[in-house]
Structure 1
Amino acid sequence: MGLSTVSFRSAVAADADSVAALHADSWRRHYRGAYADAYLDGDVLTDRRTLWSSRLAAPGADRVTILAEAEAGAEAGAGAEVGAEVGVGTGIVGFVHVVLDDDERWGSLVDNLHVTRGRQRHGIGTGLLTRAARAVRDQGATAAMYLWVLEQNTAAQDFYAAHGGKPAERGFARSPGDVPGRLNGRPAKLRYVWPDVRDLLRG
């Protein structure tokens, strides 16, 4: 199957349901074991829909949400590159959400970065992370950026390390929405950092 053309744009309120569905599906695939089955198999979609409806209905100057869209059925032609800014897509295949200047020490937070299962390893995650870094460089008070990743999610850790992220410390995940019972015990998480996103952008 050929690769579809991918384009990137800022999210709008009408995207909330699609972003929530992708977010919920990603958590079900990658957070199993750390998050309670009852939550992943039950309330996670409703919970994510509530979150994204709120976020995208009232975006702030300190928050950036970027979507990757794929033009369904389109073949990548000669010279085409996945991640090129061409056309308008017909389906959301990934997104990244950045909170600018979230932490005085660590800088801006990449709060979410997810790519739909069938489009992973096609350059979409790299395109989203690069655009997050550009937003931090252009709009943040500092060029530092960080994120948290579950300790069990080694594939994500490998991806961030390949893009210059360095593990800085270990912590414990908070229950989604701070609602008790949504976690299995105290799953560990790792902070990955980019002290200067310009290094990532030069890579």
Structure 2
Amino acid sequence: MGVSPNGNHPKMEEFTLKEGRVELRQAEYQDYERIAQLHAKSWQQNYRGLVTDAYLDQYAEDDRIVVWQTRLTNPSFNQNVLILENEGELCGFICVYGNHNFEYGTIIDNLHIDSAYQGHGLGTKLMLEAAKWAEKYFPDSGVYLEVLDQNVAAKHFYLALGATQSHLSDWKAPCGSKVKEAVFTWTSPSILLRKAETFV
């Protein structure tokens, strides 16, 4: 791979689902709109009742487009964004920032799988690749993420991957709503890596 954590890399891997071949690769600038659309769609499906309907229905997609265009225009040195595609269709993505927090380390900032592709291990695959990256570039940092406290399925998923639930925090949504999030931690990327490998 490249000499810097966020270096652009070619196609990384292909594997097979019953729906077809899935390609894992580094996100590029031209992917920003599709990533933003999936991000907004995921929020619309999972944040309803926690974030205002007006924001979700009228502003979320445009807001995410600005965020992802900015992230992929000039990515920070510690940013890593990976996507999964099935014949050009975006299946999911993950965004990681190495050594983001002094106490908790590398943050898995986003992990979203299109609802049509859930249940096939794609989330685990992306977590595995994020752990490999963090282990290579930030091995001495822990790993953490924040997830909706009411998202029981996601919480069980992270616990199965060896995470420890640390505490609750308040997330201030772009519309101003305050949402309870659970913080999950791993003391090192190697712990996440070893656990994810058992599921892939």
TM-score by length of 2: 0.86
The correspondence for 1:131, drawn from 129, 132, 152, is: 129
User: How big is each residue's C-alpha offset from its partner over 1:146-165, in whole Å with a ceiling of 9 and x where there is no partner?
Assistant: 00001111111111111111
The correspondence for 1:152, drawn from 147, 150, 160, is: 150
What is residue 111 of structure 1 aligned with on the other side? 109
Q: Distance in 1 between matches of 2:139 and 2:119?
A: 32
Q: Distance in 1 between matches of 2:23 and 2:187?
A: 28
Q: Does the 8 A contact of 2:139 with 2:190 survive in 1?
A: no
Q: Distance in 1 between matches of 2:182 and 2:169?
A: 6
1:188 matched to 2:180? The reply is yes
CA RMSD of aligned residues (A): 1.4
Stretches of structure 2 lacking an aligned partner (at least 5 in a row): 1-16, 196-200
Offset at 1:141? 5.4
Where relative contact order (Cα < 8 A, 6+ residues apart) is larger, the structure is 1
What is residue 83 of structure 1 aligned with on the other side? none
Q: Distance in 2 between matches of 1:159 and 1:117?
A: 16
Which of structure 1's runs of 4+ aligned residues deviate more than 6 A?
A: none
- CA gap of 1:112–1:26, structure 2 versus 1, over 3 A, is same
Equivalent position amino acid for 1:173 in 2? W
Q: Distance in 2 between matches of 1:198 and 1:62?
A: 18
- Local SS of the residue matching 2:20: coil
User: How big is each residue's C-alpha offset from its partner over 1:115-164, in whole Å with a ceiling of 9 and x where there is no partner?
Assistant: 00010110110011111111111111524100000111111111111111
Write the mapping of 1:1-203 to structure 2, written as runs, cut at 5 A: 2-71=18-87, 90-140=88-138, 142-176=140-174, 181-183=175-177, 186-203=178-195
| Percentage identity across paired residues of the two chains | 33
Q: Does the 8 A contact of 1:39 with 1:182 survive in 2?
A: no
TM-score by length of 1: 0.84
Offset at 1:182? 4.0
Q: Distance in 2 between matches of 1:199 and 1:187?
A: 29
Equivalent position amino acid for 2:38 in 1? L
* Equivalent pairs, count: 179
